[in-house]
Chains A and B, each alone.
Chain A
Amino acid sequence: MTAVSTASDVKITARATPEQRRATVIGTVLLLLAGVVVWVFGLGVESGARSTFNLSLPGERIQDLSWAVNSRWLAYLVAAVVAFLGGWVLRRSHLRWTNLALAIGLGLFALAFLTWAAAGKSFSLVGMLRSTVILSVPVTLGALTGLMCERVAVINIAIEGQLLTAAFVGTIMGSAFGIWAGLVAAMVAGAILGAVLAVLAIRFQVDQIIAGVVINIFALGLTSFLARRVLAAAPDLNSPGRFASIKIPILGDIPVIGSVLFDHNMFVYATFVLVLVLHLGLFYTRWGLRSRSVGEHPKAADTVGIDVYRTRYLNTILGGLIAGFGGAFFTLSQVSRFEENLTAGIGFIGLAAMIFGRWMPLGALGAGLVFGFARAIQQKLGILGTPIPSEFLSMTPYIVTIIVVAGVVGISRPPAADGQPYIKQ
């Protein structure tokens, strides 16, 4: 009896749990990254080459702040830390911190990569971080749209169409009646498409993915059609102007952080506030609890008196407002002009960010920043002239998403009832 139980105990402890297996994979990946850092980023530069990071932008109060570092030694230092993290994860002693170790490791890897790319040159680190924040805005807003809908079990792959339509409407109304009118109109346009999605998904019980695809095709077709037919004939409707930057007093003058975080237009600040509000709302208010229950177990929610349909309509339309805000960002903040297919897949990156951020607003912001960073690096690499093709960096968000949905680095679990129509009995 004892012999048998001992044997089975041994078997149980010998078989790795999913977390342990994950730790093995991630630990190995970190060790490999450390190797890459040594061989490519360390030995790949001339010894004694220095990378100079500019830490101030032109026109700032404190000028000519920069950080010069020996490229090879920094790579060695990073490799040592990453290898240490890898070994630590491989010991499987602190499984809770596996993801944190991976995040730190990848962050350091990015730093080593930049140092390598900037070896012998100077590089505006602050400029890149600033772009990261700006580029993360539409992605984060797209992800927030997606999670607002999916938290109540309405799959929204129409984010792209919502952004595009809102960008278009914002341009026209902004040109005709001023940027604030453009912003409001864009948000209304996003909300209308949200309502269309909700009606198709809830009232007509159309397959939600088909409904999303339809809205995307419709938005692309209609905005391109109108851009060629109306905007081409009336070009004065295609110059809405932009929201000006508002430098936050005191905070905006802090070196590095000031330029990166506190010298933007209201879209950036509003996005940060929105993320915080939604996170608190979703997890600490009655509305949030009800929304989540509708997404996880609509029948139970119905039984305790929550109006499932009303909650779904409300949240999908609120999500549309957010998408409209995100769409306005394209034409009222960045380029101030509408062009065909202006959003170019950002809505899908938003969808990816929602998954990567595990259906949580703070996660969405984190994912948005990561994907914004990937796009910012990609823009800067051309200037530095590195041998890495920019196409591979462009792919990163999508590959990361595939890895995440495949559960290799932690499982990202959608709301339980996601995509299923609810039929009241």
Chain B
Amino acid sequence: MSDRVPSPEDTSASNWLDRATGVGTSLGRALMLPALAVITALIIGAVIIALTDIDTLTVWGDDPGEAFRLTLSGIGDAYRALFVGSLGSWRAITETLFAATPLILAGLAVAIGFQAGLFNIGVNGQMLIGGMAGLWVGFSIDVPAIIHIPLAVLAAMVGGAVWAGIAGLLKARTGAHEVITTIMLNFVAIFLVDYLLKSSIFQQPGRNDPISQPAGSSAQFPRLLGDYRLHIGFLLALAAVWVAWWLMYRTTIGFEFRAVGFSPSGARYGGMNVAWIYVAVMAVCGALAGIAGANQVLGLEPYRGISNFAGSVGFDAIALALLGRSHPIGVLFAGLLFGALRAGGREMQGAAGIPIDLVLVLQALIIVMIAAPALVRAIYRIKTPDQELETSISAGWTK
């Protein structure tokens, strides 16, 4: 099992970014691939928009010039809305940050796993369980916000950590592959949450559908800028980025995580308790995912739990972690980009009538190009760099 992260002892890197990111490439080269991936994805997205514009497609036979103009204006409208909705105004920028908040937290939950050689597909389930724990604290006790919010977030972290810890424990004790167990635990969590939402503990009195009571006002994340939806969850995400960076690059535990990711057998010979580290890594990932889950119930209207409230965040997180090269700072910027796509995608759907699902397509295209650099190089005829970035993270179910 090999990993993208160079050995922790690697000090040959020369500039500050290399040292900070651990990626042995210069700043330009490190950014070129993601930039080309995003641009290529947007171009393919434009083609998809053009090909699915039924009204315009019928014009091509009669008046190709007019059809061409209509097609271009259709694409232009869509991408203008994407830009306006994400960066075009103060409100749009706060919406981008608002959308980026859970993505950054969930992205960290995948990235730390990647660094330790674990593929955490279970962010979705960890968010759900963590979010439910946070929500429960949110409506069941009544204390001032200064105590209530930290308590709720802590409960969410514990909930997520326990749920992820199951997968870690199974891997440590029985060797069960975390990809299988976390996928399965996602589904278990979805049904468990559906059940809980209809149980007397959580369900809103007088309702029959799966919806919880609202969190108390003292547990709701306060907004940062008056009317805008941006809330303190974003500051929490920034703090999590810093903590994740500090943990991974400045502590012994982080060193051990990365050492296991680099070579589990090497770490074992080095005297590390690899089984315990697997559990610890999953717990840390789960705790981060738990905060993301709390964000989904305590950070936005109507401050309630609903069926599968984690949405697609858990899967976007995988894309984020890859785009951010599994580094906390990379995840931060990737999260901002995807937040912009989300916020802009909503505007695109409202103003230009392009379904927001296009954002998923763009994300898939971005990841595949990040995961297969050879693909981008083939498209743009770029020479192979001296150092091929490894993309293999997991090797088989049983390792």
Residues of A within 8 A of B (CB): 155, 157, 200, 204-207, 209-211, 213-218, 220-222, 224-226, 228-230, 233-234, 340, 345, 348, 351-352, 355, 389, 391-392, 394-395, 398-399, 401-402, 405-408, 413-414, 417-421
Instruction: Tell me, in angstroms, the Cα distance from A417 to B395 when the chains sit together.
Output: 9
Contact B315 A213 (CB under 8 A): yes
CB-CB contacts below 8 Å: B115-140 with A: 119, 121
Contact of A395 among B177, B191, B318, B322 (CB under 8 A): B191
Instruction: Tell me, in angstroms, the Cα distance from A340 to B398 when the chains sit together.
Output: 34
Which chain B positions have C-beta within 8 A of A398?
Answer: 184-185, 187-188
Q: Which secondary structure characterizes the binding site on chain A? A: helix
Total inter-chain residue pairs, C-beta < 8 Å: 161
Which chain A positions have C-beta within 8 A of B394?
Answer: 207, 209, 419
Instruction: Tell me, in angstroms, the Cα distance from A373 to B203 when the chains sit together.
Output: 30
Contact A218 B360 (CB under 8 A): yes
| B392 contacts the other chain (CB 8 A) | yes
Interface bits B50-67 vs A (CB < 8 Å: 1, else 0) = 001011000000000000
Contact A217 B355 (CB under 8 A): no
Which chain A positions have C-beta within 8 A of B368?
Answer: 200, 206, 211, 214, 218
**A217/B360 contact (C-beta < 8 A), A224-B355, A345-B187 known:** yes
Contact A351 B183 (CB under 8 A): yes
| B365 contacts the other chain (CB 8 A) | yes
Instruction: Tell me, in angstroms, the Cα distance from A218 to B363 when the chains sit together.
Output: 8
Contact A406 B170 (CB under 8 A): yes
Which chain A positions have C-beta within 8 A of B175?
Answer: 407
| B375 contacts the other chain (CB 8 A) | yes
* Closest A residue, CB atoms, query B184: A398
Query: Can you list 25 residue pairs at the A/B interface with Cβ under 8 Å?
Result: A206-B372, A209-B393, A210-B322, A213-B315, A213-B367, A216-B315, A217-B360, A218-B368, A221-B361, A225-B360, A226-B52, A230-B54, A233-B55, A234-B54, A348-B184, A355-B180, A391-B191, A394-B191, A399-B188, A402-B188, A405-B170, A405-B177, A405-B397, A406-B173, A419-B396
Contact A207 B170 (CB under 8 A): no
* Nearest CB of chain B from residue A219's CB, rounded to whole Å: 8
Instruction: Tell me, in angstroms, the Cα distance from A398 to B394 when the chains sit together.
Output: 22
Interface bits B328-363 vs A (CB < 8 Å: 1, else 0) = 000000000000000000000000001101111111
Instruction: Tell me, in angstroms, the Cα distance from A157 to B359 when the chains sit together.
Output: 21
**A229/B315 contact (C-beta < 8 A), A211-B371, A405-B181 known:** no
Contact of A209 among B179, B181, B191 (CB under 8 A): B179
* Closest A residue, CB atoms, query B358: A225
Instruction: Tell me, in angstroms, the Cα distance from A221 to B362 when the chains sit together.
Output: 9
Residues of B within 8 A of A (CB): 48, 52, 54-55, 119, 121, 170, 173-177, 179-181, 183-185, 187-188, 191-192, 194-195, 198, 315, 318-319, 322, 354-355, 357-365, 367-368, 371-372, 374-375, 391-398
Instruction: Tell me, in angstroms, the Cα distance from A419 to B392 when the chains sit together.
Output: 10
Q: Which 9 A-B pairs give the minimum distances between C-beta atoms?
A: A221-B360, A218-B364, A224-B357, A419-B396, A391-B195, A225-B357, A221-B361, A228-B355, A398-B184
* Nearest CB of chain B from residue A54's CB, rounded to whole Å: 29
* Nearest CB of chain A from residue B191's CB, rounded to whole Å: 4
Contact A421 B180 (CB under 8 A): no
* Nearest CB of chain A from residue B175's CB, rounded to whole Å: 8
Contact of B364 among A217, A351, A389, A418 (CB under 8 A): A217
* Closest B residue, CB atoms, query A401: B184
Contact A204 B176 (CB under 8 A): no
Contact B119 A392 (CB under 8 A): no
Contact B398 A225 (CB under 8 A): no
Contact A157 B183 (CB under 8 A): yes
Contact B365 A389 (CB under 8 A): no
Contact A218 B397 (CB under 8 A): no
Which chain A positions have C-beta within 8 A of B181?
Answer: 402, 405-406
**A391/B119 contact (C-beta < 8 A), A214-B368, A221-B363, A420-B396 known:** no
Given contacts A210-B367, A217-B363, 7 further A-B contacts (CB under 8 A): A155-B397, A207-B371, A221-B357, A221-B364, A225-B361, A352-B184, A407-B175
Contact B396 A210 (CB under 8 A): no
Which chain A positions have C-beta within 8 A of B357?
Answer: 220-222, 224-225, 228, 340
